[in-house]
């Protein structure tokens, strides 16, 4: 897959940027054993889904969307407790990236009884991999329930992957 609009910066910033994205890619595309142990991998009838969550403040640059005419909801998240949620969706039979899905994420802290945050995940590049991502405010520590609804273009119903993400103290 072509990776359009590559940019080159100064040596130190390029290295730091590359290191951050390599770390995010490792989280999102972690091996099945690591993903299962960490709760970051779920299977649906059609998909292997891998989840990554990193503090938005660690992102130095705006994530690169596949649709380069947009910015991810106005740019980098400004809330201090924002997290960048990323999902890699792969076909369970072929292990190929699913590039034409619509992915909607619902995030809810386990203590929230009626409150949740729901928004679409947008297609973005992490290295040479297309993933789906967006920012979510996660101000409290502890367990968050993350529900991903994955729709294919001609599909009538979503397939759902449920995750529990523990936001660390500190």
> Is residue 38 left, alpha or beta, with left meaning phi > 0 and alpha meaning psi from -120 to 50?
alpha
State mean pLDDT over 104-132: 88
How many residues belong to the chain?
170
Question: What is d(CA 23, CA 15) in angstroms, rounded to the nearest whole number?
Answer: 12
> Is residue 28 left, alpha or beta, with left meaning phi > 0 and alpha meaning psi from -120 to 50?
alpha
**Distance, CA of 28 to chain centre:** 7
pLDDT in tens, 125-163: 877 888 999 889 898 889 999 999 999 998 779 999 999
From the DSSP assignment, how many helices (H) and strands (E) are in the chain? 2, 9
What pLDDT score was predicted for residue 94? 97
pLDDT in tens, 156-170: 799 999 999 999 876
Give just the sign of the alpha carbon dihedral 104, 79, 115, 170.
Answer: positive
Question: What is d(CA 136, CA 104) in angstroms, rounded to the nearest whole number?
Answer: 12
Q: Contact 87/29 with Cβ under 8 angstroms?
A: no
Confidence of residue 20 (pLDDT cuts 50, 70, 90): very low
H or E, element range at 51: strand 47-55
pLDDT in tens, 51-76: 999 888 776 555 555 555 555 555 55
* Opening angle at CA 144, ends 143 and 147, nearest 5: 145
Question: What is d(CA 121, CA 67) in angstroms, rounded to the nearest whole number?
Answer: 13
- pTM beyond 0.85: no
Q: Report in angstroms the alpha-carbon separations of 157 from 18, 47, 76, 102, 107.
A: 37, 14, 32, 11, 20
């Amino acid at each position: 897959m072509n990776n359009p609009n590559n940019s080159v910066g100064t040596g130190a910033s390029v290295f730091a940027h590359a290191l951050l994205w390599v770390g995010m890619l490792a989280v999102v595309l972690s091996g099945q054993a690591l993903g299962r142990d960490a709760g970051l991998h779920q299977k649906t009838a059609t998909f292997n889904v891998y989840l990554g969550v990193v503090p938005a403040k660690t992102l130095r640059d705006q994530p690169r969307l596949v649709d380069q005419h947009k910015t991810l909801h106005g740019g980098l998240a400004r809330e201090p407790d924002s997290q960048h949620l990323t999902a890699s969706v792969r076909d369970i039979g072929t292990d190929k990236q699913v590039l034409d899905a619509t992915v909607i994420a619902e995030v809810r802290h386990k203590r929230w009884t009626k409150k949740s945050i729901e928004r679409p995940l947008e297609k973005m590049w992490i290295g040479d991999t297309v993933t789906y991502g967006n920012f979510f405010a996660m101000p409290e520590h502890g367990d968050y329930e993350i529900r991903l609804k994955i729709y294919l273009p001609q599909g009538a119903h979503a397939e759902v992957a449920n995750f529990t993400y523990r936001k660390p103290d500190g």
